[in-house]
Amino acid sequence: MLAQEMRQVNREHENVRRQALRQRRSVAPYLFLLPGVILVIVWVYYPFLQTFWLSLFHGNLVGGPARFVGLQNYRLMLQLPEFQQALQNTVIYIFGISVCAVIIPLCIALLLVKVSPLMQRIYQGFLFLPVMLAPIVVSIIWFWLLNPVQGVCSQLLSHLLGWNIPDLLNDPTTAIWTIIGITSWQMFGVSLSLIFAVIIGINRQYLDAARIDGASEWQIFCYITLPLLTPLLSFLLLYTVLFAGQWAFGPINVLTQGGPGNTTTNIYYLLYQFGFVFFNTGEASALAVMLFLVLGSGAIIEVYMLDRKVHYDN
């Protein structure tokens, strides 16, 4: 009888120990995630909530106390002609830089595969060099290259071909495309290196089997290479949509200051002007919140649409 009671007590202790162990194991993953969650809350969500709170007030950093105005700052931004122009330009920046950051690097990477390994490294290093330069440095370099009077490009074209290039940065029809080209030139190397790394990492058995079956190079690209590149291409496209306007801020600030006639300004530069030139914290905060909501919604829609077209190599 005593032995049976002892076995019952041991079983109860064992059940309690196992239950405690299961609880510790269930809590352990959350403990590992806790530092990251705290950092995200402190550095992302709290500043966003504070920005939204500031957007409900009208105030100036160098003026008197802020005055509560509710959603008036949002209505003011939506009715502002500069905001509408900046929003249109931001869309142009996104589409223009997306072409240069995704499609053109894909074409160059496909050509790099066909050259020798030594030339591959040389070309990659040469094309990746602009990525390591600061945006201010890149902007100054292109300012001297494109100067219509003493610029390197104008001098070469004038002496060699007799051409006189226009002032691309002060022409309303070419200024925004020049900024897109400069920004894309700097970010080109990142996309090229990533796409090239994925292409050379594709299992060669797929390609050899397709060639044995009589598939052409175009068919191999359309049905093997491109589908296996879709995870990376979708990431690059999403990354460009979110950060294209931010990448263009440096060249805009140095080369055009949003001109001529606001033809090169975008949402980020307009936000900078309201916040750090005019010191209107309410309007700047409202613009930042709208920018977050628009880009966030666009990113969610893009992820949903692209995820249905992505193919993975299992």
Q: Which two tokens stand for residue 137?
A: 């440095």
**Among the ranges given (11-15, 101-105, 125-129, 148-152), the one the predictor scored with the smallest mean pLDDT:** 11-15
Q: Is the pLDDT of residue 310 over 80?
A: no
- Please state, rounded to an integer, the average pLDDT across all residues of the chain: 83
pLDDT score at 296: 83
What tokens does 164 get? 């006189």
Tokens 């920046």, residue located: 93
- Phi/psi of residue 56, each to 5°? -90, 5
Segment among 20-24, 159-163, 196-200, 290-294 with least mean pLDDT: 20-24
Under the banding of pLDDT at 50, 70 and 90, the label for residue 289 is very high
CA 139 to CA 158: how far, in whole Å? 23
109-131 residue pLDDT tens: 888 888 888 888 888 888 888 88
Mean pLDDT of 47-55: 90
What does the pLDDT look like over 261-280, one tens digit per residue? 889 999 999 999 988 888 88
CA angle 29, 33, 36 (to 5 degrees): 170
CA 182 to chain centre: 16
What is the rounded average pLDDT of the residues 282-297? 88
Tokens found for residue 246: 């931010």
Can you give the pLDDT at residue 13? 63
Per-residue pLDDT, 3: 58
Q: Report whether 184 contacts 108 (CB < 8 A).
A: no
Triad 288, 290, 291: Cα angle to 5°: 65
Phi-psi region of 86 (alpha: psi -120 to 50; beta: other; left: phi over 0): alpha
Which band of pLDDT confidence, cut at 50, 70 and 90, is reported for residue 149?
A: confident
Bridge partners (DSSP) listed for residue 68? 57
Q: What is the CATH number of domain 76-307?
A: 1.10.3720.10
Are 244 and 97 spatial neighbours (Cβ–Cβ below 8 Å)? yes
pLDDT tier for residue 19 given thresholds of 50, 70 and 90: low
Q: For residue 6, is pLDDT > 80?
A: no
Looking up tokens 């074409």, which residue turns up? 107
Q: Would residue 26 be called left, alpha or beta, if left means φ above 0 and alpha means ψ between -120 and 50 degrees? A: alpha
pLDDT for position 234 = 86
Whether 281 and 59 have beta carbons less than 8 Å apart is answered as yes
Residue that wins the pLDDT comparison between 3 and 192: 192
Burial class (CB in 10 A: 0-12, 13-18, 19+), 97: buried
For tokens 């496209």, what's the residue?
Answer: 237
* The pLDDT of residue 264: 92
Q: What is the pLDDT of residue 207?
A: 85
Cβ(254)–Cβ(141) under 8 Å? Answer: no
Whole-model pTM: value is 0.82
| pLDDT band for position 21 (cuts 50, 70, 90) | low
Reading the block at residue 235, the tokens are: 């990431």
- pLDDT at position 132 is 86
Position 275 scores a pLDDT of 87
Residue type, 152: V
Structure token digits, residue 107: 């074409």
